[in-house]
């Protein structure tokens, strides 16, 4: 690759919609991120039993809803009846699991750039990538605030790319593997999204010098966020969406 591709995300990206300030993967989380001055969000998208892409992180419902069982075995109608906010704090009772369409509509209204993490339930990699890509192709041919797809699943990324090749892709990893560039090429990724704990300055500069973008998750320490940005990391996914304010004067525009 020569020269870095255009990058659709701001330097600070809120993790799972609103980071630590709201129930994860909810519309109110998007509102909270925007209210904190954050200009971009990451969220996780999984399929219901009947193939509807919705925002949720776990394959099972117990941790973040009042339901039980597997997301992949539950219809969208049943998922939409669950409470996805009360577990976090009583004042968020009544929050629902948003569909991908609902979340993207809210992000448009709030002018939030989006990192869709395609999060397939086990064995549903291609179907999940395809459904996310199909949703974008049908309803979101353009997305003014900026949009990027990422996944730990190469199969899901490729399935999404078949539906909407125009949206940039990032390959999610924990450690950056020795063959990272070949893996990015295999899925047409412009970026690596890696665990912040396993990245140092030399690795950052290697990735950036090769013309790839680098996003890191999940970094909440302001001092380290500033250091990572000074190394040339493009975006930091954080549970602290208010980091924008603390980093004024430090943040560069990629
Ligand atoms: O997309 C970055 C980050 O969200 C990956 O980890 O488990 O929070 O989805 P996780
Ligand atoms: Mg995620």
Q: Tens digits of per-residue pLDDT, 200-241?
A: 999 999 999 999 999 999 999 999 999 999 999 999 999 999
Distance of alpha carbon 202 from alpha carbon 104, whole angstroms? 36
How many angstroms is it from 161 CA to the middle of ligand 1?
20
- Indicate if the pLDDT at residue 254 is higher than 50: no
Ligand 1 environment, Cβ below 6 A:
15, 42, 44, 57, 117, 150, 172, 193, 217, 237
- Which residue lies with its CA nearest to atom 10 of ligand 1? 57
- Indicate if the pLDDT at residue 252 is higher than 70: no
Element (H, E) at 191: strand 191-195
* 57 included as an active-site residue: yes
pLDDT of residue 251: 59
Instruction: Return the SS3 of 179.
Output: coil
Closest by CA to 243, choosing from 10, 22, 30, is 10
pLDDT of residue 58: 98
* 15 included as an active-site residue: yes
pLDDT tens per residue across span 106-127: 999 999 999 999 999 999 999 9
- Indicate if the pLDDT at residue 43 is higher than 80: yes
pLDDT of residue 1: 52
Q: CA torsion 80→86→91→93, rounded to 10°?
A: 30
Mean pLDDT of 153-175: 98
How many angstroms is it from 200 CA to the middle of ligand 2?
21
How many angstroms is it from 142 CA to the middle of ligand 1?
24
Q: Which residue has the tokens 């924990």?
A: 174
- Indicate if the pLDDT at residue 4 is higher than 90: no
- Which residue lies with its CA nearest to atom 4 of ligand 1? 15
Measured from the CA of 42, which atom of ligand 1 is nearest?
1
Distance of alpha carbon 108 from alpha carbon 92, whole angstroms? 22
CB 51 within 8 A of CB 72: no
pTM check: above 0.75: yes
**Sign of the C-alpha dihedral computed for residues 75, 91, 119 and 44 taken in this order:** positive
């Amino acid at each position: 690759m020569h020269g870095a591709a255009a990058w659709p995300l701001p330097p600070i990206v809120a993790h799972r919609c609103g980071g630590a300030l709201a129930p994860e993967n909810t519309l109110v989380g998007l509102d909270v991120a925007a209210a904190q001055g954050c200009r971009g969000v990451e969220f996780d998208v999984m399929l219901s039993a009947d193939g509807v892409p919705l925002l949720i992180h776990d394959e099972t419902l117990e941790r973040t809803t009042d339901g039980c069982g597997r997301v992949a075995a539950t219809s969208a109608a049943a998922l939409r009846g669950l409470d996805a906010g009360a577990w976090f704090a009583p004042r968020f009772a009544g929050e629902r699991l948003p569909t991908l369409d609902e979340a993207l509509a809210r992000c448009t209204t709030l002018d939030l750039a989006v990192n869709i993490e395609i999060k397939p339930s086990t064995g549903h990699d291609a179907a999940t990538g395809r459904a996310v890509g199909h949703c974008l192709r049908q309803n979101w041919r353009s997305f003014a605030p900026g949009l990027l797809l990422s996944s730990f699943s190469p199969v899901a990324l490729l399935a999404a790319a078949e539906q909407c090749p125009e949206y940039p892709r990032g390959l999610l990893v924990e450690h950056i593997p020795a063959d990272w560039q070949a893996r990015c090429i295999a899925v047409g990724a412009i970026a690596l999204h890696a665990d912040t704990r396993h990245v140092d300055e030399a690795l950052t500069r290697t990735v950036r010098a090769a013309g790839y973008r680098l996003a890191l998750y999940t970094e909440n320490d302001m001092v380290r966020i500033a250091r990572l940005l000074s190394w040339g990391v493009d975006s930091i996914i954080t549970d602290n969406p208010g980091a924008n304010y603390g980093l004024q004067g430090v943040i560069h525009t990629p």
